[in-house]
Chains A and B, each alone.
Chain A
């Protein structure tokens, strides 16, 4: 059921995007007479960054960009009566080299590669003694853990679709909205742990492989991107 709803919403989203592009086509015919070089900023689910675009002709635009995202979220995690001070360090981003093919003046398909830096880390350290039967285990003996995910494919193929719009009389300003995915492969997991959770990190138990398999469906990184640029020449 979830899958059906998800697919339906996505189709709706793409249709809406296509419709928007159609409207754009009618209302905002761009400067598609020749080439141009644009530089600008972007914001996406893969981070904030900069990109440059070189419009070779009305059909093809080359893009190179750099984006990065690094935020920390601290929270308290209680697991089996143990309080952990937990930090989620969500780190991603990458360097992209993409080609946009405009099948209509404002609508394009995008493809290329992203050298991705996907590497979120979840760290936790016991902050309070653990009640265990009639005794309490000192927090230092309860220990800590670190789960670090990494993409198994560092140079990831990317595919997306979007629309582009020009602003101003001379159409020197452009912005585009794009959705896409890059393939990062089944995520790789590194576990380090001390104390109570130490066996979770022990290669003999192959727990890393077990969890990697469980998370292996997460092969694609979804991208929703908004970029704005200025024509330099």
Chain B
């Protein structure tokens, strides 16, 4: 009887304890595997926040201001040109884009400061556009947007100019000033400068046609030919472009590269020269001279033809060419040194939002000096760099649909002072937070929540893309309720799009969750947080070896 009781208790205890332990058997499941799917869990979320300077390059049509869509090749050179890398850390000799935009960054081992500026130059070749070269000296780290305006070859002025003989004191020359056939686009426009071509009769006598035959046996013979038919004796066919905005560029002044106010006045090239009705094929030791003159008051500090070799060298008002590859850049620049860093400008708002605001900087005579982009999160302070020591006006572009037009900011001295810009949201816009996590299809264990620049707009609308500043995958922004929006990030030459609706239930949950990688929830501050699990395309993952 006693043994029976003991056995009953023993068995009961054994069963109870065993059952209790059995509840822990889940301990043997691998916690790094998803409980439901058995796939690897997302253990870590990574960021690119080790990059201190992010660069957005926008290649813009100089006439329309639109991003250019033809294939472009961008190369960097100069002291720090090799320190510009992709967000996967690659240093490429050139970057090819069909989107007119590039997101690049700076090797974080390179620090940028006023005493250690980041010096580089950019060269852009784009199909259907003239090449562009420009130099930069960055004086601080941060988010930089570079707008590079390229002139379309189709937008160039075409003209044909004829020459008249000038019996000067020295060599007898043909001076080209008589316009035979004006460019169709801006021929009548009054320009503050004058360019004159000049060929001496001695040089002219050396020219050969496209078959390699000489036109004349001597300068005397050339002079005779001119006298016989001066109207049809010689013509120069030109293509020029002069619709360039002022900017800040780097010019060699007394051998020292300096950032200065700079403007290309005209770029051009000689398409062909005809002599007695035949095209010149070879200068054959002869030269063509170009002379320039600034014709308005006051004269700029620096004026003349410029050649680019990582920075601009102003070679003077005369340029001499000994081959038919004749192209030129005529510029003016200020000799005034710019301040390395200047005024501090804080953007603030009553809303929690990211922003990307463009400002055109004018002097008090309404001359455009440069353009600056401010990208960040309210409130954020920016220290502008390479600023002229003068009073300026910052005219903010009205290109952000979420914000009301921003009043012009007057600054007494662009090299100093602190200023605040208040930004108000447009009516009916709501505040949202987007949280983006991007996965690689083959490696779900790691997600990327990037610190990166993005763009946002209502899908299919004509609104301009609204720049946003994403920090660790999180971006606060303004949007209209009840809309379908697109958020896009540019990875090398590919936009990564995510689509989301700003339609939510009262509890903040997402109304379009079915079949979507988007979900939402109400935040404590009343905003809606929209969570996006985005799958990168494999090419992005390949770049990062994921």
Contacts and interface: CB of A to CB of B under 8 A. Distances in A.
Q: Which 8 A-B pairs have the closest CB atoms?
A: A133-B89, A199-B449, A141-B50, A132-B89, A217-B26, A3-B25, A10-B21, A199-B45
B85 A133 contact: yes
B346 to A, nearest CB: 24
Nearest to A10: B21
A7 B45 contact: no
B107 A202 contact: no
B20 interface: yes
Contact of A204 (B24, B27, B32, B435): B435
Contact of B17 (A161, A217, A218): A161
A135 B91 contact: yes
B259 interface: no
Interface in B445-485: 446, 449, 472-474
A179 B29 CA distance: 22
Interface of A: 2-3, 6-7, 10-11, 14-15, 18, 22, 79-80, 103-104, 107, 109, 132-138, 141-142, 159, 161, 179, 181, 195-200, 202, 204-207, 210-211, 213-215, 217-218, 220, 222
A161 B91 contact: no
Given A133-B89, A141-B108, A207-B45, A202 B472 contact: yes
Contacts of B449: 199, 202, 205
B216 to A, nearest CB: 58
A211 B31 CA distance: 9
B488 interface: no
B50 A196 contact: yes
A195 B50 contact: yes
Nearest to B83: A135
Nearest to A194: B49
B31 to A, nearest CB: 5
Given A103-B9, A133-B89, A133-B90, A205 B20 contact: no
A10 B20 CA distance: 10
Interface majority SS on A: helix, strand, loop or mixed? mixed
Nearest to B9: A103
Contact of A15 (B14, B27, B31, B45): B14
B31 A137 contact: no
Contacts of A204: 433, 435, 472-474, 529
Nearest to B106: A135
A222 B20 contact: no
B217 interface: no
Interface string B44-62: 1111011000000000000
Contact of B437 (A132, A136, A205): A205
Contacts of B26: 3, 217
A199 to B, nearest CB: 4
Contacts of B9: 103-104
Contacts of B318: none
Nearest to A215: B31
A6 B25 contact: yes
A6 B89 contact: no
A181 to B, nearest CB: 7
A200 B50 contact: no
Interface string B6-45: 1001100110011011111111110110110000011111
B97 interface: no
Contacts of A217: 26-27, 29, 31, 35
B371 interface: no
Nearest to B433: A204
